[in-house]
């Protein structure tokens, strides 16, 4: 299948454009010969020549034929095309993913306190989060928009709290995403969104843990709106 990114410019032409930019053809014109280019692209002279022609036709490259070769320079569009490739690679390798979720404080089933204080979890919290969490989870009911945005948390690396077992039963793992909690009274850090693998709550409920009782430090009551800034 032909790999085309429009106007006859495909993956091969983009690779050629990148090579020319590496030769210095971004800020000023650079001299190239088709034979040299062909060798570096591992292609025939004819192919190298055709790629330059396509780049010129697409307005990504300006060319000037001189006696012993050609002077080439990337156009503004050519530079923008490489910038867009660069942005893709930045997204891949430099992801500083973050997501802001909005919800209102709610009371849950009173089970959070029980699970957080179980030694099999507590020992891991202290070691992996660097603090002893307050006994409970602050429950937030997310807005409809935040329920949708919640999936973006998957781009963020969580701290894994492993499952374990005692004589009676097994306990599931939980994933902790670093976050700060913003209420009308101020912002609190450190905190984590905790996503237990086994839970009675649906996607609209978000549970937060922190070293202190957030209802007290942020003066929160049921119905108050908070913003959770989740980021690495």
Ligand X SMILES: Cc1cc2nc3c(=O)[nH]c(=O)nc-3n(C[C@H](O)[C@H](O)[C@H](O)COP(=O)(O)O)c2cc1C
Ligand Y SMILES: Nc1ccn([C@@H]2O[C@H](COP(=O)(O)OP(=O)(O)O)[C@@H](O)[C@H]2O)c(=O)n1
Residue 121 interacting partner from ligand Y, ligand X, Mg ion, none (CB closer than 5 to 8 Å by kind): ligand X
Binding mask 62-101 for ligand X (x = CB under 6 A): ----------------------------------------
Residue 213 lies near ligand Y (rule: CB under 6 A): yes
Alpha-carbon distance of 102 to 142, in angstroms, equals: 6
164 contacts 171 by C-beta, under 8 angstroms = yes
Taking the complex as a whole, the smallest distance from the CB of residue 154 to ligand X amounts, in Å, to 19
* Phi, psi (degrees; rounded to nearest 5) at 133: -70, 150
Alpha-carbon distance of 110 to 81, in angstroms, equals: 55
Binding span for ligand Y by CB under 6 A among 13-21, 43-51, 64-72, 103-111: 103-111
Which stretch of DSSP H or E encloses residue 183? Answer: strand 174-183
Taking the complex as a whole, the smallest distance from the CB of residue 42 to ligand X amounts, in Å, to 55
Taking the complex as a whole, the smallest distance from the CB of residue 152 to ligand Y amounts, in Å, to 23
Alpha-carbon distance of 101 to 231, in angstroms, equals: 11
Residue 127 lies near ligand X (rule: CB under 6 A): no
Alpha-carbon distance of 88 to 214, in angstroms, equals: 38
Judged by CB under 6 A, the chain residues 171 through 210 that form the site for ligand Y are 209-210
Name the residue nearer to ligand Y (CB basis): 73 or 207: 207
* Phi, psi (degrees; rounded to nearest 5) at 174: -140, 150
Among 121, 134, 177, 188, binds ligand X (CB under 6 A): 121
């Amino acid at each position: 299948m032909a790999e085309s990114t429009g106007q006859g410019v495909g993956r091969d032409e983009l690779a050629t454009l990148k090579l020319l930019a590496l030769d210095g053809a971004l800020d000023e014109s650079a001299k190239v010969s088709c034979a040299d280019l062909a060798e570096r692209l591992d292609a025939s002279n004819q192919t190298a020549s055709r790629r330059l022609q396509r780049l010129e036709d697409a307005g990504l490259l300006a060319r000037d034929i001189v006696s012993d070769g050609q002077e080439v320079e990337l156009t503004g569009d050519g530079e923008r095309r490489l910038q867009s490739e660069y942005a893709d690679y930045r997204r891949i390798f430099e992801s500083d993913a973050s997501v802001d979720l909005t919800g209102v404080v709610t009371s849950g089933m009173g089970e959070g306190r029980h699970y957080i204080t179980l030694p099999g979890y507590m020992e891991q919290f202290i070691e992996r989060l660097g603090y002893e969490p307050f006994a409970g989870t602050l429950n937030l009911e997310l807005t409809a928009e935040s329920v949708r945005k919640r999936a973006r948390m998957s781009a963020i690396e969580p701290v894994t709290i492993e499952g374990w077992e005692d004589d009676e039963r097994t306990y599931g793992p939980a994933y902790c995403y670093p976050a700060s909690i913003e209420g009308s009274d101020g912002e609190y850090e450190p905190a984590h969104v905790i996503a237990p693998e086994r839970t009675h709550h649906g996607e609209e409920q978000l549970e937060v843990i922190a070293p202190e009782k957030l209802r007290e430090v942020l003066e929160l009551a049921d119905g108050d709106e908070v913003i959770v800034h989740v980021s690495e």
